[in-house]
Structure 1
């Protein structure tokens, strides 16, 4: 069989190596520039590749195509493949064919990296053989290929984006976690929220009666969508509202300041097994992290981890890079890297958590954002707004009038160096500079990690 891989980054190169191992005739095509270490990996396995173009004839001759999640269905080569009936799938779909490991999958508009990382940490500490992959970590397909010699994990913990879910058809999640659905990537979904909702709900596709679906019960969309999916039978909802005795209830007693409650709160679950833990013992703070901890605890308990191990891990987990990550205090100003905040809701959560005046950095590749949800918080909390992007016109249109009315300073920057310099000028002693961009990073940076690391390097040099 002829398999063509479109996209030669982490997931594509891993899929190519696995495909060759399984006897496929493999060719890799990337319309951009392939990074040198990925070229070296392909060359080491004798896998053919091209960069800077898509050779149409060769791609259309494929029996099946694995495409990078970043390539939309509207791309001309994908349109041609669909027109002739060639299957186009994600690397996740492809790799899952060749593993006997169980799948614990996490999606959501916000919080999925923290929750996925926390679940992986708990399962590791519990002694399971476990792999971390998907939209995080090393290539899922490459890990499956390596397992031929190292041994297959008991579980793969996968962070799944909506783009990955869109091109999965036979994949089955034994435990599926859906944290929330808020507007994101609407430019990819014809600016139709329902299309995006359908994409997220695909995580339940192919679930069997003995599989589990864990979800935030207070989400605006998920409960109604579940009524359309009678095949999803084993439901474990959770909530962060004070509701004693409810299935998966999040908070008992009166609450704790770090999570928006008064002292004395208890994280409490009645399913899949009874579990309680004082909130002031959780390593992660913030209301959004309470939801992440609830979801991770339920998933780990459902996977067979003991309550004692779950409790210990929730107590000492240190968090993930680029998500409300403290960079340090320099010249009396606090700096926080929240580069993972690539949508409005994530920025809202980050801004709401701040207790000092904020210099907020926003900008990048706009995804059809409606910034109006931020207006009240910007007015209440921000001393200044710093726009960071190749084109800041939409940010000016969204925020300049509000800033003028509220006496909030505005700066326009086109590089991280300019941005950090502007922040240093605008911030006063005791303020917080918050990089929480609302937008994708691809206008000025390789990815959100590159954006966050550039920010941290420049801030550390102040």
Structure 2
């Protein structure tokens, strides 16, 4: 019996353990930290061996195969020892994909991947396809392969998950965009991060498709020097294609395999240029899967959007409060500010991942009337923007930030939480940060 060791007892780790057990592996889960009670109960219920609060090195080194959770870097000593010994160390999406014959649609990118994944899943489901949604979003892909019998999967995949693939081959791959993010995991070399994202297409053949943003110079530049074998389907707000997706005279036009469909951009529920791009990517997938044009159109109109991503919370005394806590990098915040229609009080800050805030300067000059820094260390934000806005306040509590914003905002203004940073200085996660913002707004 082959031994599967799972490093990390979170969503992907426990999902992999369930699938491994079902496939007949001898499974051992090891977590350096503590495993959450809910996951521990699943392991106990399934009779899976586990440990927490440290790794039993001698036992782990006996593994035939290791799945490591995306949060564990390749540089971790245990991972290094395994690789030196010649043990295969893979990610959950690699492990699960080996045991399903389903059609895989995989979506990656620095921003927009969650919205694009949810929108694509929504259209496929409305189109009557038997489809599951997993990966970086919601449920573990491996657990789904163990428990369900979906014919299609839409997977949101991160660069960390792609680092651990060997044979993973999506029939349709999407790269929404690539901007500097997580560079601490890539030796602060942007090229390493780009290469990681493009692993999504490394096993694709001429029968597969790569859908990508042709306005993104990082993507188009990389493709020039590193050609892919898959058929390329570009989308753009600026160019037109004989094969691809583009916008002309307020119509979103999808032209693939000599089939063309058109829909008015007015019908898209989600506003903003970045959401037009997410819609383009999703409509390209839908057309490749031969979903009816009317279904695609209806689905775009009925889609509700993603929690913590430009989520309208409440209007209080004609001031709109928007929760964009999922904006954990500068590029995401750029999109948020770009879509603001009214003078904006901007709540920003958190754990800075080596951010360069200068690209936000034109948007801040044009849209932002006041800035509230919500973080432990706001020096960089203050240095960058204090000369551009009239009012800048520092705070370390969400309640205080929301109350100050409420006082500063006039009728017709918008209060936007779009942090451009990770949340871990003051919050458990971006979801926790967004929830606390919504609670504070509702408590006004």
**Could you say which TM-score interval applies, normalised by the shorter chain?**
over 0.9
Alignment of 1:180-191 (within 5 A): 180-191=177-188
Deviations 1:203-223 (A, max 9, x none): 101102111111111211222
Paired residue secondary structure (1:318): coil
Question: Displacement of 1:69 after TM fit?
Answer: 0.7
Partner of 1:451: 433
Query: What residue in structure 2 maps to residue 414 of structure 1?
Result: 396
Q: In the TM superposition, what is the alpha-carbon distance from 1:407 to its structure 2 partner?
A: 4.2
Q: CA deviation at 1:363?
A: 1.8
- What residue number does 1:258 align with? none
Tell me the residue number matched to 1:315: 301
| Count of matched residue positions in the alignment of Structure 1 and Structure 2 | 442
1:322 alignment partner, SS class = coil
Q: 1:169 to 1:415 in 2, by over 3 A?
A: farther
Q: How far apart are 1:386 and its partner, in Å?
A: 1.8
DSSP-derived class of the 1:406 partner: coil
- CA distance, structure 2, for counterparts of residue 249 and residue 99 of structure 1: 30
**Which residue of structure 1 aligns with residue 221 of structure 2?**
224
- Please say if 1:342 is aligned against 2:328: yes
Offset of residue 91 of structure 1: 0.6
Q: Is the 8 A contact 2:349 2:381 kept in 1?
A: no
Q: Is the Cα contact below 8 Å between 1:241 and 1:249 reproduced in 2?
A: no
State the match for 2:405 in structure 1.
Answer: 423
Counting only pairs closer than 5 Å after superposition, residues 271-282 of structure 1 correspond to structure 2 as: 271-272=256-257, 273-282=259-268
Q: 2:360 is paired with a residue of what secondary structure? A: helix
Deviation at 1:338, TM superposition (A): 0.6
Q: Deviations over 1:215-240 (max 9, x none)?
A: 11121122232234445241111111
Question: Counterpart in 1 of 2:442?
Answer: 460
Which residue pairs with 1:212 in the alignment? 209
CA separation of 1:368 and 1:45: change in aligned 2, threshold 3 A? same
1:238–1:247: 8 Å Cα contact kept in structure 2?
no
Conserved in 2, the CA contact under 8 Å of 1:400 and 1:410?
no
- Determine which of 378, 391, 396 is the counterpart of 2:379: 396
Give the superposition deviation at 1:19. 0.6
1:274: how far off? 0.5
- Give RMSD over aligned pairs: 1.7
Task: Give TM-score, length-normalised by structure 2.
Answer: 0.95
C-alpha change, 1:177 and 1:366, in structure 2 (3 Å) is: same
Distance 1:421 1:129 in 2: 46
CA deviations over 1:95-125 (Å, ceiling 9, x no partner):
1111110100111111111111011001101
* Cross-structure match for 1:386: 372
Residue of structure 1 equivalent to 2:52: 51
Aligned-pair CA distance for 1:331? 3.8
Which of 346, 351, 358 matches 1:360? 346
CA contact (8 A) 2:201 2:230 kept: no
1:239-284 per-residue CA deviation (whole Å, 9 max, x = no partner) reads: 11263x643242112xxxxxxxxxxx11112214201011111222
1:252 alignment partner in structure 2 = 248
Match of 2:422 in 1: 440
Question: Residue in 2 aligned with 1:266?
Answer: 251
Q: Would you say 1:198 and 2:195 are equivalent positions?
A: yes
* Alignment counterpart, residue 279 of structure 2, candidates 293, 307, 319: 293
1:102 counterpart residue number: 103
TM-score, length of structure 1 as denominator length: 0.92
Map of 1:261 onto structure 2: none
Alignment-derived partner of residue 231 in structure 2: 234
Q: Would the alpha carbon gap of residues 34 and 415 (structure 1) be closer, same or farther in structure 2, given more than 3 Å must change?
A: farther
Q: Does the 8 Å contact 1:172/1:206 carry over to 2?
A: yes
Query: Is the 1:242–1:249 contact (alpha carbons within 8 Å) kept by the matching residues of 2?
Result: no
In the TM superposition, what is the alpha-carbon distance from 1:439 to its structure 2 partner?
1.3
Deviation string for 1:169-198 (max 9, x for gaps)? 110010001111111111111111111110
Partner Cα separation in structure 1 for residue 162 and residue 64 of structure 2: 21
The C-alpha deviation readout for 1:383-406, integer Å capped at 9, x for no partner, is: 2222222x31xx322433531x23
- Partner of 1:128, secondary structure, is coil
Alpha carbons 1:382, 1:408 under 8 Å: kept: no
